[in-house]
Structure 1
């Protein structure tokens, strides 16, 4: 049972009461994702859609300032570890969500029941991105190995133990046990996060996107996002955004790679091992899963989606 007041994981303390009572504006735009499902990618795409493809307008601005995660920002005052994380993400001291000019773009990895109540009450626009859980598992594994097995030099360092191999990680991904809480910090399994938003995909204020569709045809998804947000984009702007947000471009984008975090916390060069922009494909799980692991995953996945008409793409 997750504490209704505070979630404590990976050294983070998230005040759920404060988050649920956060005052939402009617024109806010929420980017919601399960962890390792294209969040960094969307933090690059969404601001460009909103400003008509003006890349210069976002150059030099930390992506966690353009689209701050509400659970992180609302925990800074109470949590020294979160304060240090935000610092390494280049979020300036004194940064406040209520100082952002409307329309604000806000992000979160929290499941729906922990989000601000005003999201439903004010019917603000929500963009939800889902990724197939096999690739999520692989990306989560490498994130744990890279980012969260390192220590942040504060009075309360992140406490995370590196996994020896994927076979040690996978059972905990299924069950959301102690160490995988370092990624799934509210104790939510993939289907518990994704399916409620899939069921709401026809709501006028919800756009449900699949990561795999973005890989398959990014331009079409950029147009879909723009239409949802009532933003007119020229064909040239769509091309510009899509080219800038290709994964080859993303792997050369120091802001997207979170180079400061990688250098100061992980002790690695972001371009050689950033956990935030790693491969960006579909079907990478096939390079790691054994036959037995894949069979086990398929059995559990079928239980997860039983009764749902959601169909995910596991390879292209």
Structure 2
């Protein structure tokens, strides 16, 4: 790790170390960009910079998703695929979280990304399609993986995740997260939460925006529940899409390393700041936990809302 850091310009070494020490912002506020209300902790200014100025290299991989739909799991699977030599593997584990998320501060991180001695870079984002320069990414022959998950588990997972963060002490999040399940649910389906979407929009609108790019050969849709059902099969699909050659033994190794239990164990022993943040992100990774929270009426309401919104798509969910 030190050897690779020493390859960076001195000012970039300092920035890398500074980001590695940072936790989530302690006084987050929601801001707006092009009519989209951003999740607290994310920066409209950085998103705008990324759209206009972020360099895109052939082979880069962008993992895009709505929050709490399997982003970190997919990131780890792809990280295991791309970084198999010891030095790249070690560096990739030490990359600060904010360096790997497009819309997180600071803007200076993009210059650092350009200097990292990695042949292929992995970036994540929760941005809607209209705030990502998809044309520039795909014309550079970079890849976009869109991850989706059944909305009922997403709704529960977002509540559990957001309640652990500083956003719970800030409005409008504070009231919406602390008023009980029923009121929280109503805020979600009304599109009240600042989730990088326009007011009144939420998860189905995020899916619809990205679905417009479904036929782009450089865009791949990955389903959380399908990965849970048959991870080796989905790893092979991802490998084919990313032009990565994997033997059956390598698929088996990635499958084993990326079980939820092993990922949690590795995070617990890693010790990096990134791992501390990922530990907050990773809860249970289950399918069907929503049944402990939803009433029958709430479940049917989500079914209806998604059926109406996604009627012209082939997106189907496993609950």
Shift in CA distance, 200/94, structure 1 to aligned 2, threshold 3 Å:
closer
For residues 95-106 of structure 1, the aligned pairs below 5 Å read 96-100=112-116, 101-106=118-123
Does structure 1 residue 300 correspond to structure 2 residue 313?
no
1:142, CA displacement in angstroms? 0.8
Structure 2 Cα separation of the partners of residues 224 and 258 of structure 1: 32
1:107, CA displacement in angstroms? 1.2
Shift in CA distance, 310/5, structure 1 to aligned 2, threshold 3 Å:
closer
Q: What TM-score does the superposition give when structure 2 sets the normalisation length?
A: 0.76
Is the contact made by 1:250 and 1:256 (CA closer than 8 Å) also made in structure 2? no
Instruction: Give the equivalent residue in structure 1 for 2:26.
Output: none
1:288, CA displacement in angstroms? 0.9
More helix by share: 2
What value does the CA root-mean-square deviation take over the aligned residues?
3.4
Instruction: Give the equivalent residue in structure 2 for 1:61.
Output: 93
Between stretches 223-232 and 121-130, larger displacement belongs to 121-130
Structure 2 Cα separation of the partners of residues 160 and 210 of structure 1: 28
Does structure 1 residue 10 correspond to structure 2 residue 28?
no
Deviations along 1:107-155, one digit per CA (max 9) or x if unpaired, are 111011111351244342111111111111111111121224456xxxx
Instruction: Give the equivalent residue in structure 1 for 2:25.
Output: none
Q: What TM-score does the superposition give when structure 1 sets the normalisation length?
A: 0.76
Is the contact made by 1:63 and 1:255 (CA closer than 8 Å) also made in structure 2? no
Instruction: Give the equivalent residue in structure 2 for 1:49.
Output: 81
Does structure 1 residue 310 correspond to structure 2 residue 315?
yes
Deviations along 1:13-66, one digit per CA (max 9) or x if unpaired, are 321431211222232211111110111111211111113497992488236469
Structure 1 Cα separation of the partners of residues 99 and 110 of structure 2: 16
Does structure 1 residue 285 correspond to structure 2 residue 266?
no
Q: Where has structure 1 moved over 6 Å in runs of 4 or more?
A: 53-56, 255-259
Is the contact made by 1:4 and 1:17 (CA closer than 8 Å) also made in structure 2? no
Structure 1 Cα separation of the partners of residues 155 and 32 of structure 2: 22
Aligned residues: 281
1:278, CA displacement in angstroms? 0.8
Structure 2 Cα separation of the partners of residues 118 and 239 of structure 1: 34
Instruction: Give the equivalent residue in structure 2 for 1:200.
Output: 213
Deviations along 1:263-291, one digit per CA (max 9) or x if unpaired, are 7x9xxxx8xxx441111111111111011
Does structure 1 residue 115 correspond to structure 2 residue 147?
no
Is the contact made by 2:40 and 2:167 (CA closer than 8 Å) also made in structure 1? no
Q: Which runs of 5+ in 2 are unaligned?
A: 1-30
Structure 1 Cα separation of the partners of residues 184 and 55 of structure 2: 37
Does structure 1 residue 140 correspond to structure 2 residue 158?
yes
Is the contact made by 1:32 and 1:128 (CA closer than 8 Å) also made in structure 2? yes
Instruction: Give the equivalent residue in structure 2 for 1:211.
Output: 224
Is the contact made by 2:100 and 2:123 (CA closer than 8 Å) also made in structure 1? yes
Instruction: Give the equivalent residue in structure 2 for 1:83.
Output: none
